[in-house]
Amino acid sequence: MAGSKMGKELVHKLLTEGPVNFASASGRRVRATFGGHWIVDTTDAVHVWEHKFYPQLYIPWSALKEGSNVSVAKVEAIEEKGVKVASILEIKAGQKSTKEAIYFEEIKETGKLSGLVKIDFAAIDQWYEEEQPIYVHPKDPTKRIDILHSTRPIEVQVDGHVLAKTDTALHLIEPMLPVRYYLPPTSVDPSILRTSETRTKCPYKGEAEYYDVVIGGKTYKDLIWWYRNPTTESVVIQGAFCFYNEKVDVVLDGKKLERPKTHFA
């Protein structure tokens, strides 16, 4: 995030256009480790939506925990119209250091962001909400995932080949994404599966593992994903197989569904 250019661009955007949304982190305890040390501990974090998709965690300056092995220093000023509105921070902990952090000065020009620090989520070793580690990016407190058990018959096809067929599935409904259908692994012929090395992470579901599908000598790369150890809120999908609706044909309750158009296609 920060570096000079990106840090300045973010500050300019937030101070001229304002955050898309801004809300208290609901009193939850937010902590972070870096270089083998705790560097953040607060119950006063806020969620700041820099864009419409999900928030970032901003913390008060007092939440930074300096000590004999942790130091925080302002290393570069950021100005707007000749006024110093923010600073790039350098955080050092143990053998690590990062400049992926911004402090918003406590002046009227910084508005709601006054006195807050944004540390790039990926620059830190681990973030926690209470005792739970969080991954990829902070969770959106306004977002809800529903996982519904369904007995409507479902069939998954690709290029005319039936890949899976079952009368019981889990329908995962997530805002801004197509409904995802999680099927029992026993509904798929194991002979068509090839283990993929691909791994992806989701803050709401955990780390996904993938399978390629091979039919008639043709390989369909990363067509199936599943979660060996899902997050607590998504534990019911553990081990179930999910197909990219964008790349397969889904026949649900006898009706062939239209393939959704997303960046996953």
Per residue in 197-251, pLDDT (tens digit) is 999 999 999 999 999 999 999 999 999 999 999 998 899 999 999 999 999 999 9
Q: Do the Cβ atoms of 7 and 78 come closer than 8 Å?
A: yes
Locate the domains of the chain by residue range: 3-134, 146-256
| Fold of the CATH domain 3-134 | 2.170.150
The mean pLDDT value for 176-200 works out to 95
**Which whole number is the average pLDDT over 144-158?**
96
If pLDDT is split at 50, 70 and 90, which confidence band does 77 have? very high
> Over 60: is that where the pLDDT of 3 sits?
no
Q: Give the pLDDT confidence of 4-34 residue by residue, as tens digits.
A: 677 899 999 999 999 999 998 877 999 999 9
| Mean pLDDT rounded to a whole number for the chain | 94
pLDDT tens digit string along 153-170?
999 999 999 999 999 999
Fold: same for 3-134 and 146-256: yes
pLDDT of residue 179: 95
146-256 placed in CATH 2.170.150.40: yes
